[in-house]
Amino acid sequence: MSFTLAIVGRPNVGKSTLFNRLVGKRLALVDDRPGVTRDLREGEARLGDLRFTVIDTAGLEEATDESLQGRMRRLTERAVDMADICLFVVDARTGITPTDEVFAEILRKRARHLILAANKCEGRAAEGGLLEAYGLGLGEPLRLSAEHGEGMPELYSMLQPLADVVTEVDRAAAPDTEVDLDEDETDAPRVPTREKPLQIAVVGRPNAGKSTLVNALLGEDRLLTGPEAGITRDAISVSLDWGEMPVRIFDTAGMRKRAKVTEKLEKLSVSDGLRAVKFAEVVVVLLDAAIPFEQQDLRIAALAEREGRAVVIAVNKWDAEPDKNAKIRELREACERLLPQLRGVPLVTVSAKTGKGLDRLCDAVVSAHDVWNRRVSTSRLNQWLTGMVEAHPPPAPGGRRIKLRYMTQAKTRPPGFVVMCSNPKEMSESYERYLINGLRQDFDMPGTPIRLWMRSQADQNPYKDRKKSTPSRLRKHLK
Protein backbone atom coordinates (compact mmCIF):
# COMPACT_ATOMS: atom_id res chain seq x y z
CA MET A 1 0.00 0.00 0.00
CA SER A 2 1.01 3.64 -0.39
CA PHE A 3 1.88 5.86 2.54
CA THR A 4 3.37 9.31 3.16
CA LEU A 5 6.82 9.87 4.68
CA ALA A 6 7.84 13.37 5.82
CA ILE A 7 11.55 14.10 6.26
CA VAL A 8 12.00 16.69 9.04
CA GLY A 9 14.89 18.11 11.01
CA ARG A 10 17.09 21.14 11.54
CA PRO A 11 18.45 23.07 8.54
CA ASN A 12 21.41 21.52 6.73
CA VAL A 13 21.18 18.00 8.17
CA GLY A 14 20.80 16.45 4.68
CA LYS A 15 17.00 16.20 4.24
CA SER A 16 17.01 17.23 0.55
CA THR A 17 19.91 14.89 -0.21
CA LEU A 18 17.95 12.02 1.33
CA PHE A 19 14.83 13.09 -0.59
CA ASN A 20 16.75 12.96 -3.88
CA ARG A 21 18.13 9.55 -2.93
CA LEU A 22 14.65 8.14 -2.28
CA VAL A 23 13.02 9.50 -5.47
CA GLY A 24 16.02 8.58 -7.59
CA LYS A 25 16.30 12.02 -9.16
CA ARG A 26 18.00 15.30 -8.31
CA LEU A 27 14.75 17.19 -7.86
CA ALA A 28 15.43 19.17 -4.68
CA LEU A 29 18.12 21.86 -4.63
CA VAL A 30 21.10 20.92 -2.46
CA ASP A 31 23.75 23.32 -1.15
CA ASP A 32 26.16 23.52 1.77
CA ARG A 33 24.45 26.53 3.32
CA PRO A 34 21.50 25.96 5.69
CA GLY A 35 17.93 26.91 4.87
CA VAL A 36 17.95 26.16 1.11
CA THR A 37 14.61 24.33 1.18
CA ARG A 38 11.62 26.53 2.03
CA ASP A 39 8.54 24.92 0.46
CA LEU A 40 7.16 21.40 0.77
CA ARG A 41 8.28 19.23 -2.14
CA GLU A 42 6.58 15.91 -2.84
CA GLY A 43 7.87 13.02 -4.92
CA GLU A 44 7.23 9.35 -5.57
CA ALA A 45 9.84 7.27 -3.72
CA ARG A 46 10.89 3.67 -4.27
CA LEU A 47 12.69 1.57 -1.71
CA GLY A 48 12.76 -2.13 -2.47
CA ASP A 49 9.15 -3.14 -3.11
CA LEU A 50 7.80 -0.13 -1.15
CA ARG A 51 6.16 2.68 -3.11
CA PHE A 52 5.33 5.79 -1.12
CA THR A 53 5.10 9.57 -1.24
CA VAL A 54 8.03 11.38 0.35
CA ILE A 55 7.87 15.03 1.46
CA ASP A 56 10.95 17.22 1.73
CA THR A 57 10.40 19.97 4.31
CA ALA A 58 12.07 23.20 5.35
CA GLY A 59 14.50 23.05 8.26
CA LEU A 60 12.74 23.32 11.60
CA GLU A 61 13.36 26.71 13.22
CA GLU A 62 12.48 27.82 16.73
CA ALA A 63 10.76 30.97 15.39
CA THR A 64 6.97 31.06 15.90
CA ASP A 65 6.20 34.62 14.73
CA GLU A 66 5.23 35.93 11.28
CA SER A 67 8.83 36.03 10.09
CA LEU A 68 9.97 33.95 7.11
CA GLN A 69 11.38 31.29 9.45
CA GLY A 70 8.10 31.20 11.39
CA ARG A 71 6.08 30.68 8.21
CA MET A 72 8.48 27.96 7.10
CA ARG A 73 8.05 26.21 10.46
CA ARG A 74 4.24 26.21 10.12
CA LEU A 75 4.51 24.59 6.69
CA THR A 76 6.76 21.88 8.14
CA GLU A 77 4.35 21.29 11.03
CA ARG A 78 1.57 20.92 8.50
CA ALA A 79 3.59 18.23 6.69
CA VAL A 80 4.08 16.41 10.02
CA ASP A 81 0.33 16.43 10.65
CA MET A 82 -0.55 15.08 7.19
CA ALA A 83 2.20 12.42 7.00
CA ASP A 84 1.75 8.81 8.06
CA ILE A 85 5.40 8.46 9.12
CA CYS A 86 7.94 11.12 10.12
CA LEU A 87 11.64 10.58 9.58
CA PHE A 88 13.44 12.86 12.07
CA VAL A 89 16.95 13.49 10.73
CA VAL A 90 19.84 14.73 12.89
CA ASP A 91 23.44 15.47 11.93
CA ALA A 92 25.72 12.84 13.45
CA ARG A 93 28.84 14.89 12.77
CA THR A 94 27.52 17.98 14.57
CA GLY A 95 25.90 15.99 17.37
CA ILE A 96 22.63 16.62 19.16
CA THR A 97 21.86 20.31 19.68
CA PRO A 98 19.32 21.95 22.01
CA THR A 99 17.18 22.63 18.93
CA ASP A 100 17.12 18.89 18.15
CA GLU A 101 15.91 18.20 21.69
CA VAL A 102 13.10 20.76 21.39
CA PHE A 103 11.85 19.35 18.12
CA ALA A 104 12.18 15.76 19.29
CA GLU A 105 9.67 16.60 22.03
CA ILE A 106 7.32 18.27 19.52
CA LEU A 107 7.49 15.35 17.07
CA ARG A 108 6.93 12.83 19.87
CA LYS A 109 3.55 14.46 20.49
CA ARG A 110 2.49 15.26 16.89
CA ALA A 111 3.81 12.47 14.67
CA ARG A 112 1.75 9.31 14.16
CA HIS A 113 4.84 7.14 13.64
CA LEU A 114 8.35 8.46 14.20
CA ILE A 115 11.74 7.17 13.03
CA LEU A 116 15.00 8.75 14.23
CA ALA A 117 17.81 8.84 11.65
CA ALA A 118 21.38 10.02 12.19
CA ASN A 119 22.69 11.26 8.84
CA LYS A 120 26.28 11.84 7.68
CA CYS A 121 27.39 8.69 9.49
CA GLU A 122 30.21 7.82 7.10
CA GLY A 123 33.53 7.65 8.90
CA ARG A 124 34.55 7.70 12.57
CA ALA A 125 33.76 11.40 13.06
CA ALA A 126 30.08 10.51 13.39
CA GLU A 127 30.42 7.99 16.24
CA GLY A 128 30.00 10.57 18.99
CA GLY A 129 26.88 12.12 17.49
CA LEU A 130 25.36 8.70 16.88
CA LEU A 131 25.71 7.84 20.57
CA GLU A 132 24.27 11.21 21.59
CA ALA A 133 21.16 10.49 19.48
CA TYR A 134 20.14 7.77 21.95
CA GLY A 135 19.60 10.53 24.52
CA LEU A 136 16.62 11.90 22.58
CA GLY A 137 14.53 8.99 23.85
CA LEU A 138 13.22 8.07 20.40
CA GLY A 139 14.68 4.59 20.27
CA GLU A 140 17.72 3.34 18.40
CA PRO A 141 18.81 5.84 15.73
CA LEU A 142 19.02 4.65 12.14
CA ARG A 143 22.57 5.08 10.81
CA LEU A 144 22.43 6.83 7.40
CA SER A 145 24.59 8.49 4.79
CA ALA A 146 22.20 10.05 2.29
CA GLU A 147 25.03 11.27 0.09
CA HIS A 148 26.64 7.83 -0.23
CA GLY A 149 23.47 5.73 -0.06
CA GLU A 150 24.41 3.92 3.16
CA GLY A 151 21.64 2.67 5.45
CA MET A 152 18.94 2.25 2.80
CA PRO A 153 18.35 -1.48 3.56
CA GLU A 154 17.96 -0.64 7.26
CA LEU A 155 15.50 2.16 6.41
CA TYR A 156 13.50 -0.34 4.35
CA SER A 157 13.41 -2.75 7.31
CA MET A 158 12.01 -0.02 9.56
CA LEU A 159 9.45 1.28 7.04
CA GLN A 160 8.04 -2.10 5.99
CA PRO A 161 6.27 -3.02 9.26
CA LEU A 162 4.98 0.56 9.67
CA ALA A 163 3.57 0.51 6.14
CA ASP A 164 1.44 -2.49 7.12
CA VAL A 165 -0.11 -0.72 10.12
CA VAL A 166 -0.84 2.64 8.46
CA THR A 167 -4.58 3.25 8.40
CA GLU A 168 -6.22 2.10 5.15
CA VAL A 169 -7.52 5.28 3.55
CA ASP A 170 -7.86 6.38 -0.03
CA ARG A 171 -4.79 8.44 -0.80
CA ALA A 172 -4.26 10.20 -4.10
CA ALA A 173 -0.73 9.07 -4.88
CA ALA A 174 1.31 12.06 -5.97
CA PRO A 175 2.73 11.48 -9.47
CA ASP A 176 6.33 12.14 -10.40
CA THR A 177 7.40 15.73 -10.04
CA GLU A 178 7.71 15.99 -13.79
CA VAL A 179 6.49 13.99 -16.78
CA ASP A 180 8.72 14.04 -19.82
CA LEU A 181 6.54 14.67 -22.85
CA ASP A 182 7.81 12.60 -25.74
CA GLU A 183 7.88 14.79 -28.82
CA ASP A 184 7.89 11.71 -31.03
CA GLU A 185 4.73 10.22 -29.60
CA THR A 186 1.54 10.05 -31.67
CA ASP A 187 0.65 13.44 -33.09
CA ALA A 188 -3.04 13.26 -32.19
CA PRO A 189 -4.30 15.97 -29.79
CA ARG A 190 -3.19 15.01 -26.29
CA VAL A 191 -5.93 14.62 -23.71
CA PRO A 192 -4.60 15.16 -20.16
CA THR A 193 -4.91 12.10 -17.91
CA ARG A 194 -4.08 11.23 -14.30
CA GLU A 195 -0.80 9.70 -15.47
CA LYS A 196 0.06 12.67 -17.70
CA PRO A 197 -1.86 15.75 -16.50
CA LEU A 198 -1.80 19.13 -18.20
CA GLN A 199 1.51 20.67 -17.11
CA ILE A 200 1.66 24.40 -16.41
CA ALA A 201 4.67 26.47 -15.34
CA VAL A 202 4.14 29.84 -13.65
CA VAL A 203 7.18 32.03 -14.32
CA GLY A 204 8.10 35.66 -13.86
CA ARG A 205 10.30 38.13 -12.04
CA PRO A 206 10.73 37.96 -8.24
CA ASN A 207 7.81 39.19 -6.12
CA ALA A 208 5.31 39.11 -9.00
CA GLY A 209 3.01 36.89 -6.90
CA LYS A 210 3.59 33.46 -8.43
CA SER A 211 3.28 31.46 -5.21
CA THR A 212 0.25 33.50 -4.12
CA LEU A 213 -1.38 32.76 -7.49
CA VAL A 214 -0.78 29.01 -7.17
CA ASN A 215 -2.17 29.06 -3.62
CA ALA A 216 -5.27 30.88 -4.89
CA LEU A 217 -5.78 28.25 -7.61
CA LEU A 218 -5.38 25.49 -5.02
CA GLY A 219 -7.65 27.18 -2.51
CA GLU A 220 -5.15 26.65 0.33
CA ASP A 221 -1.83 28.03 1.59
CA ARG A 222 0.28 25.22 0.19
CA LEU A 223 3.28 27.36 -0.85
CA LEU A 224 5.30 29.77 1.22
CA THR A 225 4.46 33.42 0.46
CA GLY A 226 5.31 36.83 1.89
CA PRO A 227 6.43 40.36 1.07
CA GLU A 228 10.07 39.32 0.74
CA ALA A 229 11.33 38.91 -2.83
CA GLY A 230 12.87 35.58 -3.81
CA ILE A 231 11.16 33.34 -1.23
CA THR A 232 10.65 30.45 -3.67
CA ARG A 233 13.83 28.58 -4.58
CA ASP A 234 12.78 25.15 -5.86
CA ALA A 235 10.40 24.59 -8.75
CA ILE A 236 7.55 23.08 -6.71
CA SER A 237 4.76 21.14 -8.42
CA VAL A 238 1.24 20.75 -7.08
CA SER A 239 -1.64 18.74 -8.52
CA LEU A 240 -5.30 19.71 -8.77
CA ASP A 241 -8.37 19.31 -10.98
CA TRP A 242 -9.92 22.00 -13.17
CA GLY A 243 -13.37 20.52 -13.55
CA GLU A 244 -12.60 17.06 -14.90
CA MET A 245 -9.14 17.97 -16.24
CA PRO A 246 -6.12 16.82 -14.17
CA VAL A 247 -3.56 19.62 -13.91
CA ARG A 248 -0.07 19.94 -12.45
CA ILE A 249 1.23 23.45 -11.79
CA PHE A 250 4.92 24.29 -11.30
CA ASP A 251 5.68 27.28 -9.09
CA THR A 252 9.12 28.54 -10.03
CA ALA A 253 11.71 30.87 -8.51
CA GLY A 254 11.73 34.48 -9.66
CA MET A 255 14.08 35.10 -12.58
CA ARG A 256 16.24 38.21 -12.48
CA LYS A 257 18.59 39.53 -15.14
CA ARG A 258 21.53 37.21 -15.72
CA ALA A 259 24.02 39.93 -14.73
CA LYS A 260 22.41 40.19 -11.28
CA VAL A 261 22.43 36.45 -10.65
CA THR A 262 25.81 35.90 -9.02
CA GLU A 263 25.21 33.53 -6.11
CA LYS A 264 25.41 29.79 -6.73
CA LEU A 265 22.08 29.13 -4.99
CA GLU A 266 20.19 31.63 -7.13
CA LYS A 267 21.76 30.16 -10.26
CA LEU A 268 20.50 26.73 -9.18
CA SER A 269 17.02 28.17 -8.54
CA VAL A 270 16.85 29.84 -11.95
CA SER A 271 18.13 26.67 -13.61
CA ASP A 272 15.38 24.70 -11.86
CA GLY A 273 12.80 27.19 -13.16
CA LEU A 274 14.11 26.92 -16.71
CA ARG A 275 13.88 23.14 -16.42
CA ALA A 276 10.23 23.49 -15.37
CA VAL A 277 9.56 25.57 -18.52
CA LYS A 278 11.00 22.79 -20.69
CA PHE A 279 8.76 20.19 -19.03
CA ALA A 280 5.62 22.35 -19.20
CA GLU A 281 3.01 22.46 -21.95
CA VAL A 282 1.59 25.88 -21.08
CA VAL A 283 3.72 28.66 -19.58
CA VAL A 284 1.96 31.40 -17.62
CA VAL A 285 4.16 34.51 -17.65
CA LEU A 286 3.09 36.49 -14.58
CA LEU A 287 3.56 40.27 -14.68
CA ASP A 288 3.20 42.89 -11.98
CA ALA A 289 0.49 45.38 -13.01
CA ALA A 290 2.52 48.24 -11.52
CA ILE A 291 5.64 47.50 -13.64
CA PRO A 292 4.55 45.30 -16.58
CA PHE A 293 6.66 44.26 -19.56
CA GLU A 294 10.03 44.91 -18.01
CA GLN A 295 12.97 43.69 -20.07
CA GLN A 296 13.18 40.51 -18.01
CA ASP A 297 9.47 39.77 -18.59
CA LEU A 298 10.08 39.95 -22.34
CA ARG A 299 13.08 37.62 -22.07
CA ILE A 300 11.05 35.07 -20.12
CA ALA A 301 8.20 35.16 -22.67
CA ALA A 302 10.70 34.84 -25.53
CA LEU A 303 12.30 31.85 -23.78
CA ALA A 304 8.92 30.08 -23.58
CA GLU A 305 8.36 30.76 -27.29
CA ARG A 306 11.81 29.41 -28.22
CA GLU A 307 11.09 26.27 -26.23
CA GLY A 308 7.89 25.86 -28.25
CA ARG A 309 5.48 26.11 -25.31
CA ALA A 310 2.00 27.60 -25.34
CA VAL A 311 2.06 30.97 -23.58
CA VAL A 312 -0.47 32.92 -21.52
CA ILE A 313 0.31 36.41 -20.17
CA ALA A 314 -1.23 37.05 -16.74
CA VAL A 315 -1.14 40.50 -15.14
CA ASN A 316 -1.28 40.20 -11.34
CA LYS A 317 -2.18 42.72 -8.60
CA TRP A 318 -5.03 44.05 -10.76
CA ASP A 319 -7.05 44.93 -7.65
CA ALA A 320 -4.59 47.77 -6.89
CA GLU A 321 -4.90 49.34 -10.35
CA PRO A 322 -6.89 52.64 -10.22
CA ASP A 323 -7.73 53.18 -13.94
CA LYS A 324 -8.37 49.67 -15.23
CA ASN A 325 -9.80 50.59 -18.67
CA ALA A 326 -6.85 52.76 -19.67
CA LYS A 327 -4.38 50.26 -18.24
CA ILE A 328 -5.77 47.28 -20.16
CA ARG A 329 -5.58 49.21 -23.44
CA GLU A 330 -1.98 50.11 -22.68
CA LEU A 331 -1.14 46.49 -21.83
CA ARG A 332 -2.65 45.08 -25.02
CA GLU A 333 -0.85 47.64 -27.17
CA ALA A 334 2.47 46.93 -25.43
CA CYS A 335 1.98 43.16 -25.77
CA GLU A 336 1.40 43.36 -29.54
CA ARG A 337 4.34 45.72 -30.00
CA LEU A 338 6.90 44.04 -27.75
CA LEU A 339 6.06 40.38 -28.42
CA PRO A 340 5.45 40.12 -32.19
CA GLN A 341 6.53 36.46 -32.17
CA LEU A 342 3.49 35.73 -29.93
CA ARG A 343 0.94 37.85 -31.75
CA GLY A 344 -2.52 37.34 -30.26
CA VAL A 345 -1.22 35.75 -27.06
CA PRO A 346 -3.97 35.61 -24.38
CA LEU A 347 -3.62 38.45 -21.86
CA VAL A 348 -5.58 37.98 -18.63
CA THR A 349 -5.80 40.30 -15.63
CA VAL A 350 -5.95 38.59 -12.24
CA SER A 351 -5.67 39.30 -8.55
CA ALA A 352 -4.08 36.41 -6.69
CA LYS A 353 -4.85 38.18 -3.42
CA THR A 354 -8.64 38.45 -3.97
CA GLY A 355 -9.07 35.52 -6.38
CA LYS A 356 -10.66 37.62 -9.15
CA GLY A 357 -9.92 36.60 -12.72
CA LEU A 358 -8.77 33.06 -11.89
CA ASP A 359 -11.62 31.47 -13.86
CA ARG A 360 -10.64 33.50 -16.93
CA LEU A 361 -7.02 32.45 -16.46
CA CYS A 362 -8.01 28.77 -16.33
CA ASP A 363 -10.07 29.16 -19.53
CA ALA A 364 -7.16 30.92 -21.27
CA VAL A 365 -4.73 28.14 -20.29
CA VAL A 366 -7.06 25.39 -21.58
CA SER A 367 -7.68 27.32 -24.80
CA ALA A 368 -3.94 27.89 -25.34
CA HIS A 369 -3.33 24.16 -24.85
CA ASP A 370 -5.99 23.33 -27.45
CA VAL A 371 -4.39 25.70 -29.98
CA TRP A 372 -0.97 24.22 -29.21
CA ASN A 373 -2.35 20.78 -30.20
CA ARG A 374 -4.24 22.00 -33.29
CA ARG A 375 -3.90 20.22 -36.63
CA VAL A 376 -4.97 21.57 -40.03
CA SER A 377 -5.71 19.28 -42.97
CA THR A 378 -3.40 19.40 -46.00
CA SER A 379 -6.23 20.28 -48.40
CA ARG A 380 -7.21 23.34 -46.36
CA LEU A 381 -3.58 24.41 -46.08
CA ASN A 382 -3.00 24.27 -49.84
CA GLN A 383 -6.19 26.18 -50.61
CA TRP A 384 -5.05 28.79 -48.13
CA LEU A 385 -1.51 28.85 -49.57
CA THR A 386 -2.86 29.54 -53.07
CA GLY A 387 -4.79 32.53 -51.79
CA MET A 388 -1.80 33.86 -49.85
CA VAL A 389 0.48 33.62 -52.91
CA GLU A 390 -2.08 35.37 -55.12
CA ALA A 391 -2.51 38.18 -52.60
CA HIS A 392 1.23 38.61 -52.07
CA PRO A 393 3.65 36.68 -54.36
CA PRO A 394 6.93 35.41 -52.90
CA PRO A 395 10.20 37.21 -53.62
CA ALA A 396 12.11 36.87 -56.90
CA PRO A 397 15.86 36.85 -56.13
CA GLY A 398 17.99 37.23 -59.24
CA GLY A 399 14.85 37.79 -61.33
CA ARG A 400 13.49 34.26 -60.80
CA ARG A 401 10.44 34.12 -58.57
CA ILE A 402 10.36 31.42 -55.89
CA LYS A 403 7.54 28.96 -56.49
CA LEU A 404 5.57 27.60 -53.53
CA ARG A 405 4.35 24.19 -54.66
CA TYR A 406 2.46 22.76 -51.69
CA MET A 407 2.24 22.80 -47.90
CA THR A 408 1.53 20.30 -45.12
CA GLN A 409 1.56 20.23 -41.32
CA ALA A 410 4.47 18.15 -40.06
CA LYS A 411 3.83 18.26 -36.29
CA THR A 412 1.86 19.69 -33.42
CA ARG A 413 2.94 20.85 -29.94
CA PRO A 414 3.75 23.44 -31.26
CA PRO A 415 2.22 23.50 -34.76
CA GLY A 416 4.92 23.04 -37.41
CA PHE A 417 4.45 23.37 -41.17
CA VAL A 418 6.56 22.43 -44.20
CA VAL A 419 6.34 24.40 -47.46
CA MET A 420 7.86 22.82 -50.56
CA CYS A 421 9.34 25.50 -52.78
CA SER A 422 11.83 25.99 -55.62
CA ASN A 423 14.57 27.94 -53.82
CA PRO A 424 14.21 27.75 -50.01
CA LYS A 425 17.61 29.29 -49.22
CA GLU A 426 16.61 32.56 -50.87
CA MET A 427 13.26 32.87 -49.07
CA SER A 428 13.13 36.11 -47.07
CA GLU A 429 12.31 36.22 -43.37
CA SER A 430 9.64 38.85 -44.01
CA TYR A 431 7.73 36.48 -46.31
CA GLU A 432 7.96 33.69 -43.74
CA ARG A 433 6.52 36.08 -41.12
CA TYR A 434 3.76 36.93 -43.61
CA LEU A 435 2.83 33.24 -43.85
CA ILE A 436 3.06 32.68 -40.09
CA ASN A 437 0.83 35.67 -39.33
CA GLY A 438 -1.63 34.42 -41.92
CA LEU A 439 -1.70 30.99 -40.28
CA ARG A 440 -2.42 32.60 -36.90
CA GLN A 441 -5.27 34.70 -38.25
CA ASP A 442 -6.96 32.33 -40.70
CA PHE A 443 -6.70 29.12 -38.66
CA ASP A 444 -7.34 30.71 -35.24
CA MET A 445 -3.94 30.01 -33.66
CA PRO A 446 -3.29 33.16 -31.62
CA GLY A 447 -0.25 33.39 -29.38
CA THR A 448 1.11 29.88 -29.87
CA PRO A 449 4.62 29.38 -31.33
CA ILE A 450 4.47 28.36 -34.99
CA ARG A 451 7.34 26.65 -36.78
CA LEU A 452 7.70 27.02 -40.56
CA TRP A 453 10.27 25.13 -42.64
CA MET A 454 11.02 25.80 -46.31
CA ARG A 455 12.07 22.69 -48.21
CA SER A 456 13.04 21.89 -51.77
CA GLN A 457 11.88 18.70 -53.45
CA ALA A 458 15.48 18.20 -54.52
CA ASP A 459 16.36 17.84 -50.81
CA GLN A 460 14.50 14.52 -50.82
CA ASN A 461 16.39 13.16 -53.86
CA PRO A 462 19.04 10.68 -52.63
CA TYR A 463 20.88 10.92 -56.01
CA LYS A 464 21.05 14.74 -56.00
CA ASP A 465 24.78 15.00 -55.26
CA ARG A 466 25.89 11.83 -57.02
CA LYS A 467 28.03 12.30 -60.12
CA LYS A 468 27.08 10.57 -63.33
CA SER A 469 29.22 7.49 -64.04
CA THR A 470 30.35 6.30 -67.44
CA PRO A 471 28.97 2.87 -68.49
CA SER A 472 31.64 0.13 -68.25
CA ARG A 473 31.19 -0.90 -71.89
CA LEU A 474 32.27 2.57 -73.04
CA ARG A 475 35.28 2.94 -70.76
CA LYS A 476 37.58 0.73 -72.89
CA HIS A 477 36.78 2.81 -76.00
CA LEU A 478 37.65 6.02 -74.17
CA LYS A 479 41.08 4.82 -73.04
94 labelled binding-site residue: no
12 labelled binding-site residue: yes
137 labelled binding-site residue: no
For 143-202, the DSSP string reads E-BTTTTBTHHHHHHHHHHHHHHS----------S-----TTS--SPPPP-SSSPEEEEE
254 labelled binding-site residue: yes
120 labelled binding-site residue: yes
11 labelled binding-site residue: yes
Considering only the C-alpha atoms of the chain, give the largest distance between any 2 of them, rounded to a whole number of Å.
Answer: 103
**Mean pLDDT, contiguous 10-residue spans, the chain (479 residues):** 82 87 76 59 85 82 63 74 88 88 85 90 82 88 89 90 60 39 49 87 88 88 63 73 88 66 52 79 93 88 91 94 92 93 93 93 94 93 94 90 92 92 91 94 92 79 55 55
pLDDT for 257: 57
335 labelled binding-site residue: no
438 labelled binding-site residue: no
pLDDT for 68: 60
317 labelled binding-site residue: yes
pLDDT for 206: 84
pLDDT for 389: 94
73 labelled binding-site residue: no
196 labelled binding-site residue: no
pLDDT for 173: 36
316 labelled binding-site residue: yes
13 labelled binding-site residue: yes
**What whole-number distance in Å separates Cα of residue 206 and Cα of residue 218?**
21
Distances (CA, A) of 30 to 27, 147, 259: 9, 11, 23
Structural domains present in the chain: 4-173 (3.40.50.300), 198-372 (3.40.50.300), 378-460 (3.30.300.20)
437 labelled binding-site residue: no
60 labelled binding-site residue: yes
Tell me the backbone φ, ψ of residue 314, rounded to 5 degrees: -115, 130
pTM of the model: 0.69
398 labelled binding-site residue: no
Report CA 168 to chain centroid distance, whole Å. Answer: 32
SS3 248: strand
pLDDT for 432: 94
Task: Tell whether omega for the bond before 414 is within 30 degrees of 0, i.e. cis.
Answer: yes
210 labelled binding-site residue: yes
- Which conformational region is residue 120 in: left (phi greater than 0), alpha (psi within -120 to 50 degrees), or beta? left
